[in-house]
Chains A and B, each alone.
Chain A
């Protein structure tokens, strides 16, 4: 059973027919403004359509480029690595374990006192910029950290920022 609002919408859009249309038109006899309202609603739709032209996507190739870059960056982070043990690999793993042991040993050597204000993090990847923690300035901004291994760059990708028109002087 349709509600009044549903039937009214369907009536405006010409989606009622037959007995349903006749019954609803009888119901509308108590609403003398209905016909004028229907015309007004149709005019509104026409007005919205006429003024809905959108400028074409600027720099379309760049648009694709950014998407593919992000896919590549995500692949770098998410790519699963297959692994099969073999004797040469075991030998290398043994060497690597020794290296790690060396690093751990080195880590126990006392170092200079740490200034306050930074979170501790246990990563041992000195060559890569890494995001330890991030928070957006307000809820409309979203932040995605990503890493591109090809150029070894880390990017904080902010979205939801205001578009700056040409009149906005950056210099």
Chain B
């Protein structure tokens, strides 16, 4: 094989995995949850199963209840949405990354509020296999957490 052909082979491989097709059916799932330790934990909601082990191992709780969630499909444009709960509000602004930035990911602008108090604002990249958690305040019964993940 001629060495000069190698870059062309790579280009062909890369063109085969266009970002549009890779992310065509993905969505961003965002939620505010209450994590706690229960002697007999309730079964985790189906939608939390992909991140259950990560949450359990990192934060040490065994029960996770969804306080509020939103699922959004982000196509070519910027999408904005809110995850409202009784006291915590997550504002999300998202778009797909371009191939210059990172393939198959999303760029997010997030703001988390506790009632009217802003807690944190962040700009983050969300990969398809790698969720993002935010550790919120401790409640007498557990801890408030935020979860964002790419859903296929």
Contacts and interface: CB of A to CB of B under 8 A. Distances in A.
Given A98-B7, A170-B144, A153 B54 contact: yes
Contacts of A161: 114, 119, 136-138
A121 B10 CA distance: 24
Contacts of A155: 58, 132-135
Contacts, number: 195
B76 A112 contact: yes
A118 interface: yes
Contact of B139 (A150, A152, A168): A168
Contacts of B137: 158, 161-164
B136 A118 contact: no
A102 B102 contact: no
A109 interface: yes
A19 interface: no
Interface in B98-135: 98-105, 107, 109, 112-114, 117-135
A129 B120 contact: no
Interface string B67-95: 10000000011100000011110000101
A28 interface: no
Contacts of A171: 67, 86
B102 A124 contact: yes
A169 B37 contact: no
A123 B120 contact: no
B99 A106 contact: yes
Contacts of B118: 137-138
B136 A148 contact: no
A153 B14 contact: no
A117 B98 contact: no
B119 A170 contact: no
Contact of B14 (A62, A103, A122, A156): A103
A153 B58 contact: yes
Given A128-B127, A132-B122, 19 more contacts: A66-B59, A101-B10, A102-B11, A107-B99, A112-B98, A115-B77, A115-B78, A126-B128, A132-B125, A133-B122, A143-B120, A151-B53, A153-B54, A153-B58, A158-B134, A161-B119, A161-B138, A164-B140, A171-B86
Interface of B: 6-7, 10-11, 13-15, 34, 37, 51, 53-54, 57-60, 67, 76-78, 85-88, 93, 95, 97-105, 107, 109, 112-114, 117-141, 144, 148
Interface of A: 59, 62, 65-66, 69, 98-99, 101-103, 105-107, 109, 111-112, 114-115, 117-138, 141, 143, 148, 150-158, 161-166, 168-171
